[in-house]
Structure formats: structure tokens, C-alpha cells
Structure 1
Amino acid sequence: MPPHAYIPGETPRHPEGLFDPVKASVTGTVPVAELHRTAAWEAGRAYFDAGYYWECHEVLEAIWMRTPEGSQERDMTQALIQLANARLKIMMQRPRAAWRLCNMVTSHLARCDAHQRILGLQVAEVEAWVADTRNALQTAK
């Protein structure tokens, strides 16, 4: 884990290049359906689970850039990135931005097949995370 979670305006930004080694695991030789087996995906998931939302976004962007336009893998990756961003916005006390991002996540998930695993995740699993995020927003009112 990084030494701290970066929260813009509150904590120092990480040094340039800190995440480059993990992002480098996303190469053109990794099949798109196997991107969840890269160090970047695994780190992104670990960061998400640990509340390192900016860091999650940072490493998963390498996955997103590798996915084909219009693919379920791209939608699932974008959903996780935007959900991390929504949770970061809650920490930054920007609830309107967090709500908007949750709605965007739902749109990405709607384009995914709910009956198959996409990059190791089920749509219902991510939908539950969205519900948790929306509940946190309701509680924060």
C-alpha cells in the first residue's frame, strides 16, 4: 500500500512514477479477458477495498486504456474507476459529484451481462458497492 491515501486538498500527492511499475503489468500481450490477473488490476482492487480511491483510479486507468471501446471489460473497468472517484468525492465532501458518478456507474453496469463474470466481477457485486456508496451519501446528509 502507498504510505497514505491521496485526498486532493488534504493530503500530499504521491511522487511521480510511484505507480508506474504496477501499471507496467498491463501489456499488449495480456488478453483483454485476462486483464484482471495483472498486478495493476489486483492493486486497484486492493486499493479500492482499503479506501485508497485516488490510487485505485490511477492504476486502473492503465487497464481501461487497454480495453476495446464498447466492450464489457471497458464498462466494468470504468464502473470501478468512477465508483472509486465517487467515494473519493464523499471524502472531499462533494456529494453532488458523488451522486452523479454513482449514476454513471449504474449506466456502465447496465451495458454488462449480469450473468457472467467480467474481469473477475459480477455486476450484482458492483451494484451492491454502488448501493453502499449511495447509503453513505444518504447518511452524510
Structure 2
Amino acid sequence: MVVLAASIVSKSGKALVSRQYVDMSRIRIEGLLAAFPKLVGMGKQHTYIETENVRYVYQPIESLFLLLVTTKKSNILEDLRTLTMISKLVHEYSMSLDEEGIGRANFELNFAFDEVISLGYKESVTVA
């Protein structure tokens, strides 16, 4: 599994927290994150979207999306486990699950993301 980026984005595509794990230009990651809300349909039952180049694995969190951008060759089950782990950390570190709460916990969330993912690969950790 190769995670290109772990992010929390608003419904409009604004990146609130984003951590890249591979060498990627800022313009490319911003483009990927901005394109994501347009791909998500209302009432979808799936938690992933595949495009020509990447796979978006996501989880809605109130008015935001927790998002992993992965390669298409990555293991979707491993990606979902990683997303679940990061979701637990977001709930643990953020006082409120809105733009302001995520902004206040920005650094803690980035460090927590790094504990779960290293160089694009999931680490063997658990939430205590």
C-alpha cells in the first residue's frame, strides 16, 4: 500500500490538514484535493473513488472529509484499516470536528498521521 497523502478537507475541497508521504508538488496535491468533492456524489454507499491515476479512500466526518489519496495498486482493505486508525486519532486529538477545531489541532494531527503512516506505508501501531 502506498499512501500519497492523508488529508482532512472541507466539503468545498479546502485542505484543512494535509500530509504528503511521497515527493509531489504542492500544485498537484492541491489539484487532487480540490477535485475530490466534485467526484463525491450525495448518498453514495462507497467509501472510495477511483480516477485514472489515484484512488481516494474517504470517510465523512460531520461537515468534513477524512481522505487518503493512494495509488490504484494499493490494497484497498489495508487502506480502509489505515483510514479507520486515522479517524480514531482525529476524534481523539480534535476538540470539535469543524474547521476551527481541526485548525486548532493541526500540528497534533500531522504528528499523529506520521505515527500511523511512514513513507507511504502503514506502521504497525494501535490506538491506546
| TM-score, scaled relative to structure 2 | 0.30
Decide which structure has greater strand share.
2
Identify the structure with bigger relative contact order (alpha carbons < 8 Å, sequence gap 6+): 2
